[in-house]
């Protein structure tokens, strides 16, 4: 029996409706700023989606488009201004940045309570300590999509393929909080299929088109595909969707799976950031 498709757009809409409801009930309007530096077409499309959804749910929104040759000091000055702004509660600096910019330095410059992406060392450290204040949005999206299946997470064998600080590591930590048994695989893992075939829950985030084949997936597994790979035939994931869906129990499509949910988590993070920041900007 083919897998049930996890509709990221549908699940995301439920969260966005809740965000919209909270904003309407709030005495203060949450503000989100997005900084886009350079001429990355994919980033431009993604930021457009974020802006569209932010305005739909009622956030105050500011967008800054910077040239490819923007200096690091100019970018850091803008971040400092947004850190001090009373209108802005959450901030996103769209990655990747131009090659001459130090990404770590830029991310570190964002005040932790305004970090809508959840990428600052403080927020990642909070996650390690089971303090989920502002969780990396894509990792949070993966967990919520898994939960949307209604399947139990506790005690399940879970494999995360990928170890980035944006997705892999945070997803692993979130699943540990849910009492799953977690294995992290990466580019140096030998015999990857031996691990993935035993996973009740499989999260793949490596950026390699169709890396995960049908014979690498356990029958009935939940498969979350975070990959976004451009090919001549369109955007595809890290999972061989058409074949893997024949054995998986649940699977996310690409596009239409993790992407829409990530945006919903970013906007919800902005709401959480407003709550966190109330004591800082009085």
Pairing verdict, β 201-204 and 222-225:
parallel
Of 50, 53, 218, 245, which residue is the catalytic one?
A: 50
Helix/strand/coil percent split, the chain, to 5: 40, 15, 40
Rounded to the nearest 5°, which phi and psi values hold at 243? -90, -40
- Among 94, 115, 156, 245, the active-site one is 94
Structure token digits, residue 143: 């967990």
Is 117 labeled as catalytic in the residue annotation? yes
Q: Which 3 state secondary structure label does DSSP give 204?
A: strand
- Burial (Cβ within 10 Å: 0-12, 13-18, ≥19) of residue 180: buried
Collapsed DSSP state (helix, strand, coil) of residue 276 = helix
Peptide bond into 90 cis (omega under 30): no
Which residue of the set 53, 114, 117, 225 is catalytic?
117
**Environment class of residue 99 by beta-carbon count within 10 Å: exposed (0-12), middle (13-18) or buried (19+)?**
exposed
Pair of tokens at residue 13? 């809409």
50 belongs to the catalytic site: yes
Largest CA distance in the chain: 57
Catalytic residues: 50, 94, 117
């Amino acid at each position: 029996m083919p897998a049930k498709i996890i509709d990221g757009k549908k699940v995301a809409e439920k969260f966005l409706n809740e965000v919209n409801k909270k904003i309407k009930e709030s005495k203060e309007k949450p503000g989100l700023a997005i900084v886009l530096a350079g001429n990355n077409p994919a980033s431009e499309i993604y930021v457009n989606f974020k802006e569209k959804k932010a305005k739909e749910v009622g956030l105050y929104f500011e967008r800054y488009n910077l040239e490819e040759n923007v200096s690091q000091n100019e970018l850091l000055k803008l971040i400092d201004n947004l850190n001090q702004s009373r209108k802005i509660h959450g901030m996103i600096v769209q990655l990747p940045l131009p090659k001459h910019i130090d990404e770590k330095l830029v991310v570190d410059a964002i005040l932790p309570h305004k970090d809508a992406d959840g990428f600052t060392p403080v927020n990642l450290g909070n996650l390690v300590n089971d303090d989920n204040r502002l969780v990396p949005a894509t990792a949070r999206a993966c967990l919520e999509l898994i939960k949307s299946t209604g399947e139990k997470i506790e005690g399940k064998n879970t494999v995360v393929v990928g170890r980035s600080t944006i997705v892999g590591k945070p997803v692993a930590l979130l699943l540990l909080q849910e009492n799953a048994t977690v294995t992290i695989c990466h580019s140096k893992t030998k015999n990857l299929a031996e691990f993935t075939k035993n996973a009740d829950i499989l999260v793949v985030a490596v950026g390699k088109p169709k890396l995960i084949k049908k014979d690498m997936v356990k029958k009935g597994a939940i498969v979350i595909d975070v990959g976004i790979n451009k090919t001549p035939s369109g955007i595809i994931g890290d999972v061989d969707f058409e074949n893997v869906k024949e054995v998986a129990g649940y699977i996310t499509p690409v596009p239409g799976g993790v992407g829409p949910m990530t945006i919903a988590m970013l906007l919800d993070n902005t709401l959480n950031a407003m709550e966190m920041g109330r004591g800082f900007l009085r």
